[in-house]
Structure 1
Amino acid sequence: MARTRLLFACLALAAPLVPATAQAAPLPASGLVLSVRPEMGTLSTTQLTCEPAGGLHKNAKAACDGLTPVDGDFTKMERAADAACTMELNTTKATLKGKWRGKKVVFEQVFSNPCEMRVHTGKVFDF
């Protein structure tokens, strides 16, 4: 009986020293190249990494927060309900290429103007 108590006492003291093996596996890397090409304007490009948010994108955290619920597909993002844009015609192409959680992604969508693009994509293409 004394041996059993001694064994349990040793195990209790040693438990904090054993590294946890049931940790969640890290998500595969998400590295994206984003570009915006307005018909009347210049091409803009940046890099975005998510999980953790970073890269050259000036709003990296907000952009990643917008892409996460749609699994990296900005074409599935919902239009901001309270936003309004002018009727300006300046077709603008938004492109996203790279890897999202280890899977190759390529998405592209054309909007009637830069304002409409921002309304539909939040901070993703605000760089």
Structure 2
Amino acid sequence: MPVSTLLPALASVLALVPAPPADSMMLSLRGDEGTAVVTLDCEPAGGSHPHAERACAALTEADGDFGHLPKQNVLCPLIWDPVAATASGHWHGRPVLVQREYPNRCAANADSGGVFGF
């Protein structure tokens, strides 16, 4: 079969494969209790993040800049139980790699606008 015959068939198959979201990240929290990992997709909100819509809204407000995420008004216990938070993926096609340390999981959630709230 000539290649010119296969190209239209290949193009129609590729059209059925959904493109990955341009805003997609893997998020992790690592502490003494172990490591939790979730995925977060935005536009539309999804993935395994339990509060994907809230996390995507915070990222949208900050235009994907983790240094400008809105803070949540949450009272967190003053318990030292540090966690390392990592985000890797893409936001509007731009690569993202962020690593932060928080005093505990509650602070990670509050200081990230819910992005690390899982």
Equivalent residue for 1:87, pick from 66, 74, 78: 78
Unaligned 5+ segments in structure 1 are 1-27
RMSD: 1.5
* TM-score normalised according to structure 1 size: 0.70
1:37 aligns with 2:13: no
Provide the rounded CA distance (Å) in 2 between the counterparts of 1:115 and 1:79: 12
Unaligned 5+ segments in structure 2 are 1-20
Larger Rg, first or second structure (1 or 2): 1
Equivalent residue for 1:78, pick from 52, 62, 70: 70
* TM-score normalised according to structure 2 size: 0.75
- 1:35-62 Cα deviation digits (max 9, x unpaired): 0112x21100011111111111121111
Provide the rounded CA distance (Å) in 1 between the counterparts of 2:71 and 2:47: 25
- 1:59-92 Cα deviation digits (max 9, x unpaired): 1111100111112222322332x32222211111
SS of alignment partner, residue 47 of structure 1: strand
**Matching of residues 32-111 of structure 1 within 5 Å:** 32-38=25-31, 40-80=32-72, 82-111=73-102
Equivalent residue for 2:103, pick from 104, 109, 112: 112
Q: Report the identity percentage.
A: 36
Structure 1: 4+ residue segments shifted above 4 A: none
Aligned AA (1:35): S
